[in-house]
Structure 1
């Protein structure tokens, strides 16, 4: 999991909640965007980790 993604998701949740409480639609939208960016960062990190694992497995099989 990406720490930056987690930070973005938390920051987004705070902004979205603040936007709801203050009835600030722009702030709420920014919060939703930040949460989405955080989710994308986490997904990209997961894909990277999986690809690295597959590459490592392939290298190990060829080195036998």
Structure 2
């Protein structure tokens, strides 16, 4: 995946994770809350990976 698609997918996963966590809290479903936390963390990782790819590309382009 490219850096932009990583960041977009990451943000989508963050939003979906936050939504799942909120639904889990509202319905008193700890399993759903946990799934939301995991998905949000996955999204944050994807966004971070996209940013790293951007920085690496920038460093390579300067060579």
Alpha-carbon distance between aligned partners in 2 of 1:43 and 1:6, rounded to the nearest angstrom: 10
Structure 1: gaps of 5 or more residues: 59-64
- RMSD over aligned CA atoms reads 0.8
TM-score of the aligned structures, taking structure 1 as reference length: 0.88
Task: After TM superposition, give the deviation of residue 33 of structure 1 in Å.
Answer: 0.4
- Counterpart among 34, 40, 43 of residue 35 in structure 1: 40
Equivalent pairs counted in the alignment come to 58
1:8-54 deviation line (CA, Å, top 9, x unaligned): 00000000000000010000000000000000000000000000000
Runs (4+) of structure 1 moved beyond 6 Å?
none
TM-score of the aligned structures, taking structure 2 as reference length: 0.89
Q: Which has the higher contact order (CA 8 A, sep 6+)?
A: 2
Structure 2: gaps of 5 or more residues: none
Larger Rg computed on CA atoms:
1
